[in-house]
């Protein structure tokens, strides 16, 4: 119950709904299923917030486990007091639990450990508690040559080491220092080399901990790792000293012992506290930067996955290369491979005429509507070849450049070998490039999300955390669109709510053996796919020509009876959903319904009624169809032709904290800095643009030597801000 109260307060959501959500999660329901089919129980909470609750619940439960473990260990040492137990039990953060546990944690042998072994802990406590005697008087009682305590100075040094450790392990002091560092410390960076590098801007750099931006933290960390930078967290020692003196030493105890306590304080700060807190603050900055980086990467991947599919009769994919030639693959509107080939238009062969002839043969033979070119090696030279061919022979044809990030990963994968066992790696890559335009989601799910290549410093982010986040994004995207059960690959099916890789492969085998699946209920016949998995998955499965037309909608089988009643009340049946003419009549009839009134009549949740009505109004609809299609070209852009003020159309290829990269047809994408994305103030570029957006952009500056172009989206009519 305590967890429910905490989460409800943090999320500002009703306790009843939080309790329902936790129950649903504990019962094994998936996030997509809960978000889509249990809206009444959650008050229509979206997937993002549901995942936040799932993560927060996991944190609180792990915190409880850690508290139990810490209490047990301290109790076994015979040192657990009532006050300490209460402090641990009421702690709301793991950091505080670890701070409270620090004095009792098993540690390596330290200077304080050695001093305690010599019996000096009693002296250390006496110094802190007894102000009546001088330090020398207290220390003389501990002189013992056998313990190598020959002088008062040696005795006091040992006692000081113990006091240093007391201070270092004091939870309130550590908490105050973290707050101090967060507010007043500065990240200070110096260069360790005179070499030029991509880290030049950080060779003499300072920024407050409270203001440093996440992408700078990631860049600095990488520069440090690669040996270019030295990084420190700097703060005035006096500020730390003041906290220690005020929090740990009483004024009475300090009197006459100022020099001793100052020396103890200085040693504690320099040797123990500053290195420890500095490390914690840097870890905090890194963790925050990684969380932000994961969010940016995940949002970019989602935008890329949900790009509008291009339904063309035939698409020609080209995987460009120099020496080994450009591999060609023609696919039909279903993604099946019609033809493959290779041309050698570039150095060292330079067989341009033969290449054009081969391309024209394939275009004519298969009535190719679109050419798709990968953006890797020899991409722009291949683009020039295709543009010239279009101008000379096929003026109605167009081409598009797509990212081939991850194509090589897929092409060499076991999955690609199983799909195309008789083709080589580059031929598979050409097929993947073509399919990325035909259906981005279906093709990109075959690739590890971190290999897709849209984000910032994703290779510096902890693998498990990033992979889990990207898995959630892919799962969310797949279930938002829905999956046609009779054409989907196992790669796509495994992301359907409730399914896994084994179930997906079993579905494919069952589908092949029975020449297709005719109803959702038939999934229950698939080996290892039980009732629980079926309930989770059914609503996200589509059967275009199945027995029941409702199975080509998002209506869940549990709501079929209600959907049929709604249709019948308006003079229709499920079979009318197949007919385009009656579809329009259904749309007109249903859009006039008051869902709240109907909900009372049918005694069914109003949110679910609204969803059913929307599904029946547009059966089989792909939500991506409303999105803009990829930018198609029939000519090329040359760097030498660009000049400031020129307005071009481009495609957003990547969004990062500091701006957006835009493909305007050059070898390298142009950069639009965050300050040039909008005439209004924005906190992040994603407020304005997303990966895949088609935008009008103005040239600000052209650096022909470095091949860089600076862009602006400000003051351009119809610039195409994020929908």
- Please say if the pLDDT value at position 719 is more than 80: no
Q: Are residues 146 and 261 in the same domain?
A: yes
Euclidean distance between CA atoms 95 and 287, whole angstroms: 14
Which long-range CB contacts under 8 A does 411-420 form with residues at least 24 apart? 413/446, 415/446, 415/490, 415/491, 416/446, 419/489, 420/337
Cβ-based neighbours of 453, under 8 Å, separated by 6 or more: 403, 405, 406, 654
Residue that terminates a domain, selected from 407, 438, 469 = 438
CATH of the domain at 520: 1.10.150.310
Whether residue 457 lies inside any domain: the answer is no
How remote is the C-alpha of 177 from its chain's centroid?
Answer: 31
Q: DSSP secondary-structure letter at 308?
A: P
The mean pLDDT of 18-36, rounded to a whole number, is 98
Q: What is the pLDDT of residues 93-149, one digit of tens each?
A: 999 999 999 999 988 889 999 999 999 999 999 998 877 888 999 999 999 999 999
Cβ burial of 1 (10 Å; 0-12, 13-18, 19+) is exposed
Question: What gap in Å lies between CA 259 and CA 238, rounded to an integer?
Answer: 15
- Indicate the pLDDT class of residue 639, thresholds 50, 70 and 90: confident
The model's pLDDT over 60-78, given as tens digits with 9 standing for 90+, comes to: 999 999 999 999 999 999 9
Please indicate, yes or no, whether residues 351 and 499 belong to a single structural domain of this protein.
no
pLDDT at 455: 64
How do 708-712 and 694-703 pair as beta strands? Answer: antiparallel
- Say yes or no: 85 and 118 in one domain: no
Number of domains making up the chain: 5
- Looking at per-residue pLDDT, the higher value among 666 and 533 belongs to 533
User: Do residues 156 and 181 share a domain?
Assistant: yes
Q: How far apart are CA 623 and CA 482, in angstroms?
A: 10
Q: Considering only CA atoms, which of 509, 483, 510, 481 is closest in space to residue 494?
A: 483
Mean per-residue pLDDT, 687-697: 93
Same-domain status, 392 and 409: yes
The verdict on residue 500 lying in a domain is yes
Confidence of residue 456 (pLDDT cuts 50, 70, 90): low
Are 382 and 345 in contact by the 8 Å Cβ rule? The answer is yes
**138 & 20 share domain:** no
Do 611 and 695 reside in the same domain of the chain? Answer: no
The number of angstroms, rounded, from the C-alpha of 675 to the middle of its chain's C-alpha atoms is 24
Do 459 and 499 contact (CB within 8 A), yes or no? Answer: no
Residue 672 pairs in a beta bridge with: 660, 711
Q: Is residue 469, in this structure, part of any structural domain at all?
A: no
H/E element, 671: strand 670-673
* Same-domain pairing of 600 and 685: no
- 516 plus 602 within the same structural domain: yes
Q: How many CB atoms lie within 10 A of CB 317?
A: 30
264 and 126 belong to one structural domain:
yes
User: Same domain, yes or no, for 358 and 218?
Assistant: no
Q: Which residue has the higher pLDDT, 715 or 281?
A: 281
Q: Are residues 142 and 285 in the same domain?
A: yes
Burial class of residue 29, CB neighbours in 10 A (0-12, 13-18, 19+): buried
660: pLDDT strictly greater than 80: yes
Dihedral, 675, 679, 681, 685 alpha carbons, nearest 10: -50
Mean pLDDT of 454-464: 68
Judged against a pLDDT cut of 70, whether residue 457 lies above it is answered with no
Owning domain of residue 158: 111-293
**What pLDDT was estimated at residue 453?**
67
Residue written as tokens 């994968």?
413
| Mean pLDDT value across residues 193-218 | 92
Report whether the peptide linkage leading into residue 348 is cis, meaning its omega lies within 30 degrees of zero: yes
Instruction: Count Cβ atoms below 10 Å from residue 206 Cβ, excluding itself.
Output: 13
Confirm whether 309 is domain-assigned: no
Q: State the pLDDT at residue 723.
A: 40
User: Does residue 46 lie in a domain region?
Assistant: yes
What's the pLDDT score for residue 112?
A: 95
Model confidence at 336: pLDDT above 50: yes
Q: Does 718 score more than 60 pLDDT?
A: no
Helix, coil or strand: residue 111 = helix
Q: Which residues contact 37 (CB under 8 A, 6 or more apart)?
A: 539, 556, 558, 608
pLDDT in tens, 477-533: 999 999 999 999 999 999 999 999 999 999 999 999 999 999 999 999 999 999 999
**Percentage of the residues of the chain whose pLDDT score is greater than 90:** 76
* Predicted model pTM: 0.87
Residue 173 sits in a domain whose CATH number is 1.10.3500.10
Q: Is the pLDDT of residue 23 over 80?
A: yes
Q: Is the pLDDT of residue 597 over 50?
A: yes
CA-nearest of 486, 500, 498 to 543 is: 486
Query: Which pLDDT score is estimated for 129?
Result: 85
Distance CA 669, CA 632 (A): 16
Query: What pLDDT band is residue 243 in, cutting at 50, 70 and 90?
Result: very high
Matching residue, tokens 């409303």: 626
Distance between CA 212 and CA 285 in Å, rounded?
A: 9
Dihedral Cα 283, 286, 288, 294, nearest 10 deg: -140
CA distance 633 to 713: 20
- What the block records as the tokens of 424 is 């080589």
Question: Last residue of a domain, which of 78, 104, 130?
Answer: 104
3-state secondary structure (DSSP) of residue 642: coil
Pairing status of strand 398-402 against strand 370-374:
parallel
* Interatomic CA distance for residues 334 and 362, integer angstroms: 18
pLDDT of amino acid 722: 47
d(Cα 240, Cα 265) in Å, to the nearest integer? 9
353 Cβ contact partners less than 8 Å away, ≥ 6 residues apart = none
- Is-contact 312 438, C-beta < 8 A? yes
Q: Do the domain assignments include residue 601? A: yes
**In angstroms, what CA-CA distances link 142 with 97, 112, 137?**
35, 16, 10
Pairing of strands 670-673, 708-712: parallel
Predicted pLDDT at 25: 98
Render pLDDT for 252-263 as a digit per residue (tens, 0 to 9): 666 778 899 999
Adjacent-strand bridge partners of 331: 315, 337
Could you tell me the sign of the dihedral formed by the alpha carbons of 296, 300, 306, 308, in that order?
positive
What pLDDT, in 10s, does the model give residues 100-115?
A: 999 999 888 899 999 9
Final residue belonging to a domain, choices 104, 136, 153: 104
Q: Average pLDDT of the chain?
A: 92
CB under 8 A, 24+ apart: contacts of 127-136: 127/159, 127/163, 127/253, 127/257, 128/163, 128/166, 128/249, 128/253, 129/253, 131/250, 131/252, 131/253, 131/255, 134/256, 135/257, 135/260
Flag whether 456 is in a domain: no
**CB of 25 closer than 8 Å to CB of 3:** no
Cβ burial, residue 403 (10 Å; 0-12/13-18/19+): buried
Question: pLDDT digit string (tens) for 347-392?
Answer: 999 999 999 999 999 999 999 999 999 988 899 899 999 999 999 9
- Residue 157 makes CB contacts below 8 A (sequence gap 6+) with none
Rg (CA), the chain: 33
Give the total residue count for the chain: 723
Whether the predicted pLDDT of 721 surpasses 50: no
Q: Give the per-residue pLDDT at 97.
A: 97
Q: Could you tell me the CATH number of the domain that includes residue 318? A: 3.30.420.140
Report the CATH number at residue 63.
1.10.10.650
pLDDT interval class at 404 (50, 70, 90): confident
pLDDT of 131 reads 78
Question: Within a domain: residue 70?
Answer: yes
Q: What is the CATH number of the domain that holds 643?
A: 2.40.50.140
């Amino acid at each position: 119950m305590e967890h429910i109260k905490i989460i409800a307060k943090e999320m500002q959501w009703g306790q009843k709904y939080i309790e329902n959500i936790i129950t649903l999660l504990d019962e094994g329901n998936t996030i997509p299923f809960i978000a889509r089919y249990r809206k009444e129980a959650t008050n229509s909470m979206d997937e993002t917030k549901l995942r936040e609750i799932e993560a927060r619940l996991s944190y609180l439960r792990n915190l409880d486990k850690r508290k139990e473990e810490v209490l047990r260990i301290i109790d076994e040492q015979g040192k657990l007091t009532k006050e300490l137990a209460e402090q641990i039990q009421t702690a709301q953060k793991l950091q505080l639990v670890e701070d409270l546990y620090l004095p009792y944690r098993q540690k390596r042998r330290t200077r304080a450990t050695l001093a305690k072994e010599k019996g000096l802990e009693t002296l250390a406590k006496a110094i802190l508690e007894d102000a009546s005697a001088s330090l020398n008087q207290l220390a003389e009682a501990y002189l013992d040559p056998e313990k190598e305590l020959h002088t008062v100075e040696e005795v006091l040094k040992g006692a000081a080491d113990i006091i240093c450790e007391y201070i270092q392990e004091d939870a309130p002091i550590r908490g105050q220092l973290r707050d101090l560092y967060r507010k007043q410390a500065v990240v200070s960076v110096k260069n360790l080399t005179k070499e030029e590098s991509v880290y030049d801007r950080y060779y003499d750099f300072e920024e407050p901990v409270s203001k440093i931006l996440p992408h700078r933290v990631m860049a600095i960390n990488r520069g440090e790792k690669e040996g270019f930078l030295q990084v420190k967290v700097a703060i005035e020692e006096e500020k730390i000293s003041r906290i220690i003196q005020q929090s740990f030493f009483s004024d009475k105890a300090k009197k006459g012992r100022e020099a001793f306590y100052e020396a103890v304080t200085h040693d504690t700060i320099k040797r123990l506290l500053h290195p420890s807190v500095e490390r914690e603050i840097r870890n905090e900055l890194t963790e925050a930067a990684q969380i932000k980086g994961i969010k940016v990467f995940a949002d970019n991947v989602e935008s890329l996955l949900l790009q509008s599919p291009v339904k063309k009769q035939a698409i020609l994919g080209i995987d460009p290369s120099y020496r080994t030639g450009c591999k060609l693959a023609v696919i039909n509107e279903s993604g099946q491979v019609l033809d493959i080939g290779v041309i050698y238009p570039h150095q060292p062969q330079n067989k341009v005429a033969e290449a054009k002839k081969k391309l024209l043969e394939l275009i004519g033979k298969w009535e190719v509507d679109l050419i798709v070119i990968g953006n890797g090696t020899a991409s722009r030279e291949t683009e020039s070849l295709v543009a010239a061919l279009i101008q000379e022979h096929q003026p109605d044809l167009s081409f598009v450049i797509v990212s081939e990030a991850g194509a090589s990963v897929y092409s060499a994968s076991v999955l690609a070998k199983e799909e195309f066992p008789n083709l080589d790696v580059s031929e598979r890559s050409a097929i993947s490039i073509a399919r990325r335009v035909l259906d981005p989601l279906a093709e990109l799910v075959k690739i590890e999300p971190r290999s897709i290549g849209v984000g910032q410093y994703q290779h510096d982010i902890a693998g498990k955390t990033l992979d889990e986040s990207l898995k959630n994004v892919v799962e969310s995207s797949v279930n938002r669109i829905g999956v046609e059960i009779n054409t989907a690959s196992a790669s796509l099916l495994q992301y359907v709510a409730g399914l896994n890789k084994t179930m997906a492969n079993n579905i494919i085998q069952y589908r092949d053996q029975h020449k297709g699946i005719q109803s959702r209920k038939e999934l229950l016949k698939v080996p290892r796919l039980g009732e629980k998995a079926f309930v989770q998955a059914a609503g996200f499965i589509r059967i275009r020509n199945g027995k029941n037309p409702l199975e080509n909608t998002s209506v869940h089988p549990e709501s079929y009876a209600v959907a049929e009643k709604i249709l019948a009340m308006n003079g229709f049946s499920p079979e009318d959903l197949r007919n385009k003419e009656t579809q329009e009549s259904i749309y007109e009839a249903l859009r006039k319904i008051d869902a709240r009134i109907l909900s009372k009549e049918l005694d069914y949740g109003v949110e679910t009624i609204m969803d059913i009505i929307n599904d029946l109004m547009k059966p089989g609809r792909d939500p991506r169809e409303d999105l803009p299609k990829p930018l198609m070209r029939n000519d090329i852009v040359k760097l030498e032709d660009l000049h400031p003020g020129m307005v071009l159309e481009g495609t957003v290829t990547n969004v990062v904290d500091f701006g957006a990269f835009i493909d305007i047809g050059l070898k390298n994408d142009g950069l639009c800095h965050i300050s040039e994305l909008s005439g209004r103030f924005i906190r992040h570029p994603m407020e304005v643009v997303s990966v895949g957006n088609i935008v009008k952009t103005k040239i600000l500056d052209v650096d022909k030597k470095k091949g860089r172009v600076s862009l602006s989206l400000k003051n351009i009519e119809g610039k195409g801000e994020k929908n």
